[in-house]
Amino acid sequence: MSQSPNWSPRTLAAQALGHIDPASRGVVPPIHVTTTFIRDPDNQYRTGNIYGRPDNETVREAEAIIAMLEGAAGAMVLGSGMSAATAVFLALRPGDHLIAPEVMYWGLRNWLLNEAVAWGIEVTLVDTSDTAAVQAAIRPGQTKLIWLETPSNPMWSITDIAAVSKIAHAAGARVAVDSTCATPLLTRPLALGADIVMHSATKYLNGHSDVIAGALATAVEDEFWTRIRRVRSTLGQILGPLEAYLLIRGMRTLSLRVPAACAGAMELAQRLSNHAAVAEVLYPGLPEHPGHAVAKRQMQGGFGGMLSIRVRAGDAAAIAAAGRVQLWKRATSLGGVESLIEHRGSIEGAGSPCPLDLLRLSVGIEDIEDLYADLDHALRG
Strand-strand pairing, 214-218 and 196-199: antiparallel
pLDDT higher than 80, residue 361: yes
By annotation, the residues acting in catalysis are: 53, 105, 178, 203
Give the whole-angstrom CA distance, residue 192 versus residue 202.
Answer: 24
172-231: pLDDT as tens digits: 999 999 999 999 999 999 999 999 999 999 999 999 999 999 999 999 999 999 999 999
From residue 335, alpha-carbon distances to 149, 204, 229, 237, 339 in Å are 16, 4, 27, 23, 8
Residues 145-179: pLDDT tens digits? Answer: 999 999 999 999 999 999 999 999 999 999 999 99
CA-based max dimension of the chain: 76
Percent of the chain with pLDDT over 70: 99
pTM of the model: 0.95
**What per-residue confidence (pLDDT) applies to 310?**
98
Backbone angles phi, psi at 77, to 5 degrees: -110, 150
* Average pLDDT score, the chain: 95
Question: Which residues lie closer than 8 Å to 70 by C-beta, 6 or more apart?
Answer: 184, 188, 189, 190, 197, 217
Q: What does the pLDDT read at residue 4?
A: 54
Whether 99 and 124 have beta carbons less than 8 Å apart is answered as: yes
Banded pLDDT at 51 (limits 50, 70, 90): confident
What is the spatial distance between Cα 151 and Cα 199, in angstroms, rounded to a whole number? 13
pLDDT at 6 over 80: no
* Partners of residue 323 on adjacent β-strands: none
> What domains does the chain contain, in order, with CATH numbers?
9-251 (3.40.640.10), 254-380 (3.90.1150.10)
The answer to whether residue 298 scores a pLDDT higher than 90 is: yes
